[in-house]
Structure 1
Amino acid sequence: MNTPGTALRSRNPRTARTPVPAAAPAGRQADGMAVASFVLGLVGLLAMNLLLGPASIVLAALALRRGTTRPGRARLGLALGVADLVVLACLVSADRTWSWSIG
């Protein structure tokens, strides 16, 4: 029996309400994308240009589109992503192969 002042509890676990964690704000996600774009573009200059360059470009474009508070970082990630692909094109044309190594 329920007495006044006590809450009703659901006996079915599926219908019981559980707190749902709030999603991160869109601005915060865009800032994370801008930083990730910069880091991937920077690492892409040294290794895996073919994968990290386009990933950097896509993340930078998404960050700029979502209105990041770090547009400079996103633009730098975009430029580094393009530079990754330019470096890859230069090395491929010099070696005539898709794989390259330093030294």
Structure 2
Amino acid sequence: MPLLTAPAGSPAATRDPDGMAVASFVLGLLGLLVLNLFLGPIAIVLASVALLRGTTRRGRALLGLTLGIADLLVLAAFVQADSTISWSL
């Protein structure tokens, strides 16, 4: 019966958190431009899980976490400015 998860220390076990760190960075960056209501929280969750699993790309995960929080702050600023959930350039 095959294992569903990779053993600790294997290449696949370190690749998953690293991929999550990169994905959180990309989604956080993209969230500053579009869909920040959805992409911001996803970036925060991915970065948090990557950090908890011990990613080797810690800086990228922290950047993804910061960008995810910034997405929500940008959304909050625009909601305060024009009292709607959506915004456009």
TM range (shorter): 0.7 to 0.9
- Aligned ranges 1:9-88 → 2 under 5 Å: 23=6, 25-88=12-75
TM-score w.r.t. structure 1 length?
Answer: 0.76
In structure 1, distance between residues paired with 2:37 and 2:13:
29
* Structure 1 residue identity aligned to 2:88: S
Aligned partner of 1:90 among 65, 74, 77: 77
- The alignment partner of 2:34 has SS state of coil
C-alpha distance in structure 2 between counterparts of 1:65 and 1:83, whole Å: 21
Superposition deviation, residue 26 in structure 1 = 1.9
Structure 2 segments unaligned to the other structure (5+ residues): none
Amino acid at match of 2:26: V
Unaligned runs of 5+ in 1: 1-16
**Partners of 2:46 and 2:13 in 1: CA distance:** 14
Higher relative contact order (CA 8 A, sep 6+): 2
Larger radius of gyration: 1
| Stretches (4+) displaced over 3 A | none
| 1:7 aligned residue | none
In structure 2, how many angstroms separate the alpha carbons of the residues matched to 1:55 and 1:31? 16
- The structure where helix makes up a greater share of residues is 2
Number of paired residues? 85
Percent identity of equivalent pairs: 67
